[in-house]
């Protein structure tokens, strides 16, 4: 397990032990209290996200409320504002657009489609807001790979629609505290590294989409693996070719909706040429997983009643071992 995640969970557990009932009784500040202190509520975070998307389309970051020293990364690279995507963006899609808010930490995000240079790209945009000003902007963008208008996964980016499950507000009984939501999301990556379904709690119908293409629980898939649900895939032990899951960060958590947004990298060393699955069969590792490269990933989890119900990812291949930028 990543040291940073382990340390985070240990600190949270220790704090709960020391503070006992007093910590449990504490409530997060109300939206009114946050606004009075200069912090953003959901509508404020949503509005700032829209402002960034509009500023990108206008190629002008100067219209934004920015903190001194604001940092911008695009696909793991630190860039100047008004460089990179800021020069080519043409506006966000309305058919595939998810707004994510974490009032407690001041994080906001947009996951959806974006028009760029006349083509559709998949994007995850993350903001960190302090005192109602933006201190961090992070973008993971998967661009198209040809005239078909798609990229990794094979689907057409322009055809992807928003899944309403991510906007669903959970009843109180199905919600979990922040630290437990992070632990559940992290167990997904542990399951991949350990090539087991025993450590990750899934709903039976869990589905995964990557750059808009359904890669788990897809009844129309041409390959047998993609027909399986998330949990059934993990149970096969298919994943040893993912040789390291590193740089895990969980900057945005929404307890009301059961959402966790993670940023991380999947390393594929290329040394694993075949995998012995849990049923004893041997599967040849297909291209490109048999050569060294890294996936840079923004991954969103919907967690209901402690189990992963839906996974949505924006990802792109990068040079092997490339840092994630944060």
Q: Rounded to whole angstroms, what are the CA distances from 106 to 45, 127, 151, 165, 261?
A: 8, 8, 32, 23, 13
The residue-averaged pLDDT of 276-295 equals: 95
Choose the final residue of a domain: 116, 138, 162.
162
CATH assignment at residue 71: 3.10.450.50
Instruction: Please give the residue range of the domain that contains residue 70.
Output: 32-162
Our count of domains for the chain comes to: 2
Q: Rounded to whole angstroms, what are the CA distances from 282 to 214, 238, 276?
A: 24, 10, 5
Rounded CA separation 63/159 (Å): 32
**Are residues 101 and 42 in contact, defined by beta-carbon separation less than 8 angstroms?**
yes
- Residue 16, in any domain of the structure: no
Within 10 Å of residue 223's Cβ, how many Cβ atoms?
10
Nearest partner of 213 among 224, 226, 230, 223, judged by Cα: 226
152 plus 253 within the same structural domain: no
- Residue 49, in any domain of the structure: yes
Q: Assign 97 a pLDDT band (cuts: 50, 70, 90).
A: very high
Name 68's Cβ contacts closer than 8 Å, sequence gap at least 6.
Answer: none
- Whole-model pTM: value is 0.87
Rounded CA separation 176/11 (Å): 18
146 plus 196 within the same structural domain: no
Average per-residue pLDDT in the chain? 89
- Residue 314, in any domain of the structure: yes
The residue-averaged pLDDT of 14-42 equals: 53
**Are residues 175 and 278 in contact, defined by beta-carbon separation less than 8 angstroms?**
no
Task: Mark out the alpha helices in the chain (DSSP H runs).
Answer: 3-19, 21-25, 31-36, 42-58, 178-194, 224-227, 230-235
What pLDDT, on the 0 to 100 scale, is given for residue 144? 80
Q: Decide if pLDDT at 119 tops 60.
A: yes
124 plus 182 within the same structural domain: no
135 plus 188 within the same structural domain: no
229 plus 300 within the same structural domain: yes
Which tokens belong to 254?
A: 């929404």
- Residue 324, in any domain of the structure: no
Q: Decide if pLDDT at 12 tops 50.
A: no
152 plus 178 within the same structural domain: no
- Residue 1, in any domain of the structure: no
In this predicted model, what pLDDT tens digit does every residue of 61-81 receive, in sequence order? Answer: 999 999 999 999 999 999 999
What pLDDT, on the 0 to 100 scale, is given for residue 20? 42
What pLDDT, on the 0 to 100 scale, is given for residue 150? 52
In this predicted model, what pLDDT tens digit does every residue of 143-188 receive, in sequence order? Answer: 986 544 455 655 678 889 999 999 999 999 999 999 999 999 999 9
């Amino acid at each position: 397990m990543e040291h940073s995640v382990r340390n985070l969970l240990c600190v949270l557990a220790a704090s709960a032990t020391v503070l006992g009932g007093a910590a449990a009784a504490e409530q997060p500040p109300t939206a009114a209290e946050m606004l009075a202190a200069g912090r953003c509520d959901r509508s404020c975070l949503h509005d700032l996200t829209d402002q960034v998307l509009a500023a990108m389309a206008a190629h002008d970051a100067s219209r934004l409320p920015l903190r001194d020293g604001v940092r911008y990364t695009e696909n793991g690279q630190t860039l100047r504002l008004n460089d990179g995507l800021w020069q080519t963006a043409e506006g966000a899609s309305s058919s595939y657009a998810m707004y994510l808010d974490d009032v407690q930490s001041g994080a906001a995000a947009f996951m959806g489609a974006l028009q760029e240079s006349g083509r559709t790209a998949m994007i995850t945009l993350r903001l960190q807001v302090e005192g109602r000003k933006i201190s961090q902007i992070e973008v993971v963008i998967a661009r198209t790979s040809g005239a078909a208008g798609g990229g990794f996964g094979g689907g057409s980016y322009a055809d992807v629609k928003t899944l309403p499950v991510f906007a669903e507000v959970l009843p109180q009984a199905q919600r979990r505290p922040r630290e437990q939501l992070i632990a559940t999301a992290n167990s997904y990556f542990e399951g991949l590294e350990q090539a087991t379904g025993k450590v990750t709690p899934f709903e039976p119908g869990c589905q995964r989409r990557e750059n808009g293409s359904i890669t788990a629980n897809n009844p129309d898939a041409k390959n047998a693996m993609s027909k399986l649900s998330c949990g059934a895939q993990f149970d096969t032990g298919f994943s040893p070719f993912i040789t390291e899951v590193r740089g895990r960060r969980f900057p945005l958590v929404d307890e009301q909706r059961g959402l966790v947004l993670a940023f991380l990298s999947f390393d594929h060393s290329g040394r694993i040429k075949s995998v012995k699955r849990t049923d004893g069969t041997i599967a040849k590792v297909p291209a490109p997983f048999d050569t060294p490269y890294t996936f840079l990933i923004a991954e969103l989890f919907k967690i209901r009643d402690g189990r992963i119900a839906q996974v949505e990812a924006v990802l792109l291949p990068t040079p092997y071992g490339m840092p994630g930028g944060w």
